[in-house]
Structure 1
Amino acid sequence: MNKIDIRTVNVTQYIQPLREGGSLPAIVKADDGFLYVLKFRGAGQGKKALISEFIGGELARAMNLKVPELVFMNLDDSFSKTEPDEEIQDLLKFSVGLNLGLHFLSSAITYDPLVSEVDALTASKVVILDSLISNIDRTAKNTNLLNWNKELWIIDNGASFYFHHNWETWENHLTRTFPLIKDHVLLPKATSLTEALSEIKQLVNVDVIQEIVQNIPEDWLLSEGDFFNSNEMRAAYIAFLNAKLLMIDELVKEAADAR
Structure 2
Amino acid sequence: MNRIEIRHVNVVQYINPLREGGSLPAIVKADDGFLYVLKFRGAGQGKKALIAEFIGGEIARAIGLHVPELVFMNLDDSFSKTEPDEEIQDLLKFSVGLNLGLHYLSSAITFDPLVTAIDSLTASKIVLMDSIISNIDRTAKNTNLLSWNKELWVIDNGASFYFHHNWQTWESHLTRTFPLIKDHVLLEFAKNLNEASQYITTHLNTKKIEEIISLIPEDWLESDADAFSPNDMRAAYATYLKAKLAMIDKLVKEAEDAR
Give the TM-score taking structure 2 as reference length.
Answer: 0.99
How much does 1:215 deviate? Answer: 0.3
**Stretches of structure 1 lacking an aligned partner (at least 5 in a row):** none
Letter in 1 for 2:55: I
Structure 1 residues 165-212: Cα deviation after superposition (integer angstroms, max 9, x where no partner): 000000000000000000000001111111111111211111110000
Aligned to 2:242: 242
Letter in 1 for 2:28: V
Residue 6 of structure 1 pairs with residue 37 of structure 2: no
Structure 1 residues 10-40: Cα deviation after superposition (integer angstroms, max 9, x where no partner): 0000000000132100000000000000000
Name the CA distance, whole Å, in 1 between partners of 2:240 and 2:200: 17
Aligned to 1:137: 137
Give the total of aligned pairs: 259
Q: How does 1:39-50 map to 2 (within 5 A)?
A: 39-50=39-50
Aligned to 1:100: 100
Aligned to 1:113: 113
Aligned to 2:171: 171
Q: How does 1:128-207 map to 2 (within 5 A)?
A: 128-207=128-207
Aligned to 2:220: 220
Letter in 1 for 2:97: G
The DSSP-based 3-state class of the residue aligned with 1:257 is helix
**Stretches of structure 2 lacking an aligned partner (at least 5 in a row):** none
Letter in 1 for 2:124: S
Between the aligned residues of both structures, percent identity stands at 78
How much does 1:132 deviate? Answer: 0.2
Residue 125 of structure 1 pairs with residue 125 of structure 2: yes
How much does 1:152 deviate? Answer: 0.4
Which consecutive segments of 4 or more residues in structure 1 shift more than 6 A? none
Name the CA distance, whole Å, in 1 between partners of 2:225 and 2:40: 20
Structure 1 residues 70-112: Cα deviation after superposition (integer angstroms, max 9, x where no partner): 0000000000000000000000000000000000000000011
The DSSP-based 3-state class of the residue aligned with 1:22 is coil
Structure 1 residues 193-238: Cα deviation after superposition (integer angstroms, max 9, x where no partner): 1111111121111111000000000010001120200000000000
Letter in 2 for 1:158: G
Letter in 1 for 2:194: T
The DSSP-based 3-state class of the residue aligned with 2:146 is strand
Structure 1 residues 128-179: Cα deviation after superposition (integer angstroms, max 9, x where no partner): 0000000000000000000001110001100000000000000000000000
Name the CA distance, whole Å, in 1 between partners of 2:103 and 2:117: 22
